[in-house]
Amino acid sequence: MASVKRKGFTLIELLVVIGIIAILAAILFPVFFSVKEQGKRSVCKSNLRQVGSAFSMYANDWSGVLPPFSQVASWGPTGVTDLWTQVIRPYMAARRGAHVGVDYLVCPTRPDLRGTYAYAVNYPFIIGYPSYYGQQGGARLDRIPRNVLVVSDGWIVVYCPAWWRFDSDQDRDGLRDTMAATIENGVIYNGWGGKKHDGGCNCLFSDGRVEWVSLKDWVTNKRGIWGEARFDRYR
């Protein structure tokens, strides 16, 4: 008996095709994801490189000293302060827009966070207030060892974890990454702000290089990346 000429696929053929597509998707999806993340990481690194060159130009103008965390503003009513992101604006190539200076320095992993909210300074032993509980503003750039970071992905400031203890796990990955007492209205004033580049963050070091550091190394002060917890150490 002559077989009936089939049209279309049998169920088995269809399942095989679906299986192959699923395998290809499983292989390609992480590739697409990592290409996207690589792009974000490199935009973020270029932000930090710009900060590095602005810091170095600022230090040239100020006897080798880095900007303070904040200072009395040269504009506006008395009592207004400029944060470091405003202080370095004249040295930033990509500055634009509003006077408060939070419209630049955006990490693509958290486009809702800008400027001081997107990048944290190594506080207070490298970048501190000019006069506040013994703080002495910015350190001397040429006295900071090259393994010590100056600015990192994060929120506002990161108090050196060699000095203050992180006791809260913000991203629930089993690693204590934040000082619980410094969370106010959902804003983290000390610790990990929850934006990650593949389980780590970008850091600007004192010699101007920018490197990715795993969150674990960042939190545990591996290789002494936070420097020594002394106000006079790098002055």
Q: How far is the CB of 107 from Zn ion (least distance, A)?
A: 3
Residue with Cβ nearer Zn ion (160 or 197): 197
Q: Judged by CB under 5 A, which of 122, 153, 204, 215 binds Zn ion? A: 153
Would you count residue 177 as binding Zn ion (CB under 5 A)?
no
**Binding region for Zn ion (CB under 5 A) out of 50-58, 140-148, 150-158, 159-167:** 150-158
Q: Which is nearer to Zn ion, 88 or 210 (CB)?
A: 210
Answer whether 140's CB lies under 8 Å from 151's CB.
no
Region binding Zn ion by CB under 5 A among candidate stretches 6-14, 37-45, 74-82, 136-144: 37-45
CB 43, min distance to Zn ion, A? 8
- Looking at 28-36, 99-107, 142-150, 177-185, which segment touches Zn ion (CB under 5 A)? 99-107
What is the pattern of x (binds Zn ion, CB under 5 A) and - over residues 109-138? ------------------------------
* Residue 107 binds to Zn ion (criterion: CB under 5 A): yes
